[in-house]
Amino acid sequence: MKKIFALLVLALISLCAGARVEHKVVGNKIVAVEVKADSSAKAPTATKTQYTYVDKDGKTYPVYRGAKGGLYILRVSKKTGKEYKYYLPKSVASQLK
């Protein structure tokens, strides 16, 4: 019985957590409007820097700075062929700041 009650409470909390109430003035009335959380908001995008990275095979890659300040390059996996981020060591990032 306690488990069912706890699950119901958690379900109600999760339903209420996604919405918030804003107040708008319409004429001479103040109206409370429920606003759903925007799930389509994206994190800040990365920016391309002026630097390039040369790997041990001699290939050059442009260096990107992520939203939190990390430096990375985009590589292609040999096994899957998918592109992935290869983050450079923090010691390199601290030298470029």
Per-residue pLDDT reduced to its tens digit, 27-77: 766 566 666 665 555 556 788 999 999 988 888 999 999 888 889 999 999
Q: Are 53 and 33 in contact (CB under 8 A)?
A: no
> Structure pTM?
0.53
Both structure tokens of 77: 């996996």
Maximum pairwise Cα distance, the chain: 71
Provide the 3-class DSSP secondary structure of residue 61. strand
